[in-house]
Amino acid sequence: MATFTQLPSGKWRAQVRRGGLYRAATFPLKRDAEAWARTIEGQAHQVAASGHAQPPKGATLGDLIDAYKETGAGSGGKTKAATLAMLGARLGKVRLASLSAIVLRDFVDQRVEDGAGGVTIAADLSFLGAVLKWGRHARHLDIPADLPSQVRASLKHRGLDTRSKEREREPTDEELNRLYAHWGASSRQRIDMPTLCRFALATGMRLGEICSLRVEDVDLKRKTALIRDRKDPRNKVGNNQTVPLLPAAVDILKTVMDDRETGSVFRANADSVSTAFTRACKSLEPPIADLHFHDLRHRATAQFFRMGLDIPRVALLTGHKTWTMLRRYTSIKPEDVHALIGEAK
């Protein structure tokens, strides 16, 4: 029920109370207050009937993206932040009431013209879907939250491949030795890149996990390390995991940590390490092509299987949740199977 009160200034204050909803606003004219109240009452009636309200008049997708980020729901890595910024720039002016499959069709056309592939465009739509689902379920707005997933499913009909290609690149012994020699001969190299690489090969940890590892999270007696907030598609924060340390990793940690009781183990920044690795690969003659620091994790994971470790034990080391996720990092060859059987005889 709406109530109207004329203030000493002559303006009119409208108040709406309905079904637990309370809204109030002040207007110069009573007719403006009455029109606003009718709109709010209509929204309240719709919420009561369907559980969702029409988006505010003039509200845009950019407004929703900003609200999504402000609440912390939009927090995440650099990729998510960059994608949300791009979505705001490309679709920010679209009114929520006007969002449709046609709007997203044009958005996909633009991304294709940009040179984006199917995997990238599918990721863009996934982030957009997260924003719309938040708006529908957290803000109770009547918006098409499933629209991005429907458009994403249609990408294959446009000839866009939305499945990322599995990477099988592993550094060879020769490539690693060339890198170690390069860093050893450089007086300007401040980061102990050979030690970081050897630790990655001994643990299968991601670069971010290695650089985030703290002395207090390492237990040399138990030969374990606590990895905090380990990457998990369903658990973004608080996914701490204690992992075993193989002998090679223990030996490296004993040397690196000295007698320290706190602080970063390697005292290195992940971005700086990644840059140093890529720069070294390019500066060699001939250059090492198409090799990333993450490929050390690929080689380490495959080596765990070659050692004879089973899937649960390898998963404990690497943090993978399923065999499907783990399989792409394995490179078991027929001779590896024969070698293992021969050792068992």
| Structural domain contains residue 205 | yes
- Tell me which residue of 113, 210, 188, 104 sits closest to 152, measured CA to CA: 104
Q: What is the pLDDT of residues 207-266, one digit of tens each?
A: 999 999 999 999 999 999 999 988 765 555 567 889 999 999 999 999 999 889 999 999
Measured CA to CA, the distance from residue 122 to residue 126 in angstroms comes to 6
Is the separation of the CB atoms in 229 and 240 below 8 Å?
yes
Can you give the CATH number for the domain in which 324 is found? 1.10.443.10
Claim to verify: residue 45 and residue 67 sit in the same structural domain: no
Same domain, yes or no: 133 and 233: no
Clarify whether residues 128 and 177 are in a common domain: no
Same domain, 211 and 317: yes
Give the predicted TM-score (pTM) of the model.
0.61
Half-sphere exposure of 90 (CA within 13 A, CB side): 19
What pLDDT, on a 0 to 100 scale, did the predictor assign at position 131?
95
Quick: pLDDT tens for 45-83: 666 555 677 788 889 999 999 999 988 765 666 788 899
80 and 209 both lie in a single domain: no
The answer to whether residue 164 is domain-embedded is no
Residues 226 and 285 both lie in one domain: yes
| C-alpha to C-alpha distance for 262 and 250, rounded to whole angstroms | 17
Strands 241-244 and 224-227: antiparallel
What is the number of domains present in the chain? 3
CB-CB contact of 22 with 47 (8 Å): no
Digit-coded pLDDT (tens) for 272-317 = 999 999 999 999 999 999 999 999 999 999 899 888 888 889 988 9
Regarding whether 126 and 265 lie in a shared domain, the answer is no
Q: Do 145 and 67 have their domain in common?
A: yes
> Residue 42: how many CA atoms within 13 Å on its side-chain side?
10
Q: Which residue's entry shows tokens 């407004």?
A: 63
Question: Is position 222 within any domain?
Answer: yes
Our CA dihedral for 260, 266, 269, 273, rounded to 10 degrees, sits at: 170
List the domain range (segments joined by +) for residue 129. 61-158
Where does residue 242 fall: left (phi above 0), alpha (psi -120 to 50 degrees), or beta otherwise? Answer: beta
**Together in a domain, 297 and 328:** yes
Same-domain status, 179 and 326 = yes
In sequence order, what are the beta bridge partners of 23? 16
> In this structure, are 127 and 100 located in the same domain?
yes
Please check whether residues 113 and 187 belong to one and the same domain: no
Answer yes or no: is 321 within a domain: yes
